[in-house]
Amino acid sequence: MKRLDWLFAAILVGMGIVCLTVSATSLLERPAEAYVKTLLTLTVWVGAPLVLFGSIYFIISRKKKKAEAGKESRNIKFKK
Amino acid sequence: MRMNRIGLKLGATIIALFLIVLLTLGFVIDRVFSAFYHTKMKEDVEELASHFANMAKSNETGSEDMIQTFAEFSNVSIYLVDSTGKRSVNMGNVVVEDDSFIQNADMKLLLEGKSVFKEFEASDGKRYFVSAQPIMDKRTAIYVLSSMKSMDESLNRVRNLLILSGGGAFLLALGFTYIISQVLSRPLVQMEQATRRIAKGDLATRLDVRSADEIGTLAAAINDLAKDLQHYRDTRQEFFANISHELRTPITYLEGYANVLLNELYDTEEEKKQYLSIIHQESLRLNRLIHDLFELSKMEEGKINLSLEWVDLNEIVENGVNKVQLKVKEKGLQLYSELQGHVPLVYVDGLRMEQVVLNLLENAIRYTETGAIRVRLVKEREANLIIVEDTGIGIPADELPYIFERFYRVEKSRSREFGGTGLGLAIVKKLIELQGGSIDVYSELGVGTRFVIRIPLHNNNSSQFSDNGTLEVGF
């Protein structure tokens, strides 16, 4: 993906979070104060699954690569 | 920022699914909020009406003023309606001119002592909750009308916020969908471009294989295909070059020495005999080359006839060893054969199998200068193995996959030095595969080479046994 693609996606995600924050805080008595807190909370909620699934994917792929590397080295030893 | 078609389809599908979920969820949430507000307002108005009815029932002085005060305080309109359906007393700030909310059917229920609740839209378009309670001992009813305006306003506000949050969730999903569709579709687009380049003849095209999933496997398969095609193209050109070279060499010898004899350019009879011998040798070589080529093409077309019978491999190996004994002695090598006392018979063509063993033994003699050649017959549960190994010059590891190809030579200069047509191993492999077996080679440069032929015992259909996996043997 090019940098422009990432920027476009980030703008969309950012706009989405802002819309959600506005709708979550506008009925409150002091929306301006709650705005930043809600924005950060929402960002954490959006980011948490990404971090979680990203970590799981990273761990699994690393384990797979290690297993494959071990298998290859065993094959080389065996052939020799 | 160009969205490819597959990415667009993928993204559109995800967004469509998301919209389906979002819209249905939004509708349900809107219904939940509306029902909640509606129920709450109904309970409040009914409770108020019940209180007012109790107050109206009491004959205490000042109760009417109290009702008036409460009505103003609660922002509702209160009407006392007699048994004929006429409004007698109006209380509260809100005045509803339209009295069509008083229905005969409702009055009938009220006079029976039942309460009534309904929604009413006045002629000016305003909407009200109407709750009516009977006052039995006075044969009247008390109507409480509460405006729905505040509830509608609250609901509209909540609805607008829901739409805004829905829009936010949509943008969020759009952003992530854009990333996902780009990431997932890019390898497919790259593969499509690569296969197009390969189809146009750019066989050096390779894909970067990053994952081990189906997409990674597909990319690896495209790379393998390109590699094979490239190798096929290169070997085809090499094959034509080889065949013309292999045919031209003996013909040049024949032409040259025939010319010498024709023009009597020799000095002695002995010299003449030597030239005739060369002509004879070269014609034999040419004949063998043509014969091998013909054999190989017949095998590749599947036109070869095999006389399959139950054969003892001990005999085959023994015959082969006996035939090469003289050559082994001439070269000063050692030849060991390790046969099994009893091996199960195999269903093969005996003569062709002997040809295979002989070919491998001749190769071993050809490429071994010192040391020994060993032939072994090994019995396994599912197959018999013929192992031919030598202590010859060996084959480099990167050349091993190609040694069974026609005219493939490890060193191109070996052709004249060691003899042979370059078709022997190609014929050996084809013959073994046609008989349901497989052949593997293990070699180390400077150490030696080992050929392992595997003949399955249950050889019902030769084509079924063409590739039964690798053997657990090696240097």
Kindly indicate the confidence band of residue A72, based on its pLDDT and cuts at 50, 70 and 90.
Answer: low
B182: nearest CA partner in chain A: A1
The pLDDT, as a whole number, for residue B93 is: 67
Provide the 10 A C-beta neighbour count for residue B21.
Answer: 12
- Of B16-25, B412-421, B434-443, which range is least confident? B412-421
CB pairs under 8 A between A and B: 73
Q: Which residues of A touch B183 (CB under 8 A)?
A: 1
Torsion sign over Cα B163, B168, B171, B172: negative
Mean pLDDT of A22-47: 87
Q: Do B174 and A18 touch (CB under 8 A)?
A: no
More reliable by pLDDT, B317 or A75: B317
For residue B113, pLDDT over 60 is answered with yes
Of B85, B68, B78, B67, residue with least CA distance to B128: B78
**Distance between CA atoms of residues B411 and B419, nearest Å:** 12
First to last CA, chain B: 55
Structure tokens at B16: 């469509």
**Distance between CA atoms of residues A21 and A34, nearest Å:** 9
**Distance between CA atoms of residues B362 and B327, nearest Å:** 8
The pLDDT, as a whole number, for residue B469 is: 32
For residue A23, pLDDT over 70 is answered with yes
For residue A80, pLDDT over 60 is answered with no
For residue B462, pLDDT over 50 is answered with no
Q: Is B388 helix (H, G, I), strand (E, B) or coil?
A: strand
**Distance between CA atoms of residues B83 and B104, nearest Å:** 10
The pLDDT, as a whole number, for residue B414 is: 53
The answer to whether B140 and B83 have CB atoms below 8 angstroms apart is: yes
Q: What percent of chain B has pLDDT over 70?
A: 91
The pLDDT, as a whole number, for residue A68 is: 75
Of A46, A7, A18, residue with least CA distance to B182: A7
Mean pLDDT of B357-362: 91
Q: Do B173 and A79 touch (CB under 8 A)?
A: no
Instruction: Pick A8's closest partner by Cβ from B1, B158, B474.
Output: B1
* A47 CB within 8 Å of a chain B CB: no
**Distance between CA atoms of residues B451 and B404, nearest Å:** 12
Kindly indicate the confidence band of residue B465, based on its pLDDT and cuts at 50, 70 and 90.
Answer: very low
More reliable by pLDDT, A76 or B99: B99
Name residue B117's amino acid. F
The pLDDT, as a whole number, for residue A78 is: 46
**Distance between CA atoms of residues B269 and B29, nearest Å:** 114
For residue B461, pLDDT over 80 is answered with no
Kindly indicate the confidence band of residue B177, based on its pLDDT and cuts at 50, 70 and 90.
Answer: very high
pTM: 0.56
The answer to whether B17 and B176 have CB atoms below 8 angstroms apart is: no
Which alpha helices (DSSP H) does B404-468 contain, by range? 414-418, 424-434
Instruction: Pick B168's closest partner by Cβ from A19, A27, A68.
Output: A19
Mean pLDDT of B45-54: 87
* B178 CB within 8 Å of a chain A CB: yes
Q: What is the ipTM of this complex?
A: 0.80
Task: HSE, CB side, 13 Å, CA atoms: give it for residue B366.
Answer: 16
Kindly indicate the confidence band of residue A27, based on its pLDDT and cuts at 50, 70 and 90.
Answer: confident
Kindly indicate the confidence band of residue B281, based on its pLDDT and cuts at 50, 70 and 90.
Answer: confident
The phi, psi pair for B443, rounded to 5°, reads: -150, 150
Q: What is the enclosing helix (H) or strand (E) of B285?
A: helix B269-301
Q: Give buried/exposed letters for B53-70 (b at 16+ CB in 10 A, else e).
A: bebbbeeeeeeeeebbeb
**Distance between CA atoms of residues A41 and A46, nearest Å:** 9
For residue B238, pLDDT over 60 is answered with yes
Give me the residues paired with residue B145 across strands. Answer: B77, B130
Mean pLDDT across chain B, nearest whole number? Answer: 84
Q: Which of B90-104, B182-196, B411-425 has the highest mean pLDDT?
A: B182-196
A79: nearest CA partner in chain B: B474
Q: Do B173 and A26 touch (CB under 8 A)?
A: no
Name residue B159's amino acid. R
Q: Which residues of B touch A5 (CB under 8 A)?
A: 1, 178-179, 182
Q: Do A20 and B179 touch (CB under 8 A)?
A: no
Strand spans (E) along B104-204: 116-121, 127-135, 140-147
**Distance between CA atoms of residues B191 and B236, nearest Å:** 26
Angle between the N-to-C axes of helices B269-301 and B424-434, in degrees from 0 to 180, rounded to the nearest 10 = 30
The answer to whether B441 and B403 have CB atoms below 8 angstroms apart is: yes
What are the pLDDT digits (tens) for B437-453? 999 999 998 899 999 99
The pLDDT, as a whole number, for residue B139 is: 78
Cα→Cα distances B452→B276, B279, B384, B404, Å: 41, 37, 10, 13
Q: What is the enclosing helix (H) or strand (E) of B283?
A: helix B269-301
The pLDDT, as a whole number, for residue A55 is: 94
The pLDDT, as a whole number, for residue B460 is: 53
Give me the residues paired with residue B147 across strands. Answer: B128
For residue B284, pLDDT over 70 is answered with yes
* B167 CB within 8 Å of a chain A CB: yes
Residues 124-163 of B with CB under 8 A from A: 157-158, 161-162
Kindly indicate the confidence band of residue B255, based on its pLDDT and cuts at 50, 70 and 90.
Answer: very high
What are the pLDDT digits (tens) for B116-167? 999 888 888 888 899 998 887 767 888 888 888 888 898 999 999 999 999 9
Which alpha helices (DSSP H) does B207-268 contain, by range? 214-262
The pLDDT, as a whole number, for residue B416 is: 52
For residue A10, pLDDT over 90 is answered with yes
* B165 CB within 8 Å of a chain A CB: yes
* A60 CB within 8 Å of a chain B CB: no
More reliable by pLDDT, B420 or A44: A44
Mean pLDDT of A9-18: 93
Q: Is B454 helix (H, G, I), strand (E, B) or coil?
A: strand
For Cα atoms B221, B224, B226, give the angle at the middle one, nearest 5 degrees. Answer: 110
The phi, psi pair for B436, rounded to 5°, reads: 85, 5
Q: Is B407 left (phi over 0), alpha (psi -120 to 50) or beta?
A: left
Residues in chain B: 475
The DSSP-derived string for A28-54 is SSSHHHHHHHHHHHHHHHHHHHHHHHH
The pLDDT, as a whole number, for residue A51 is: 94
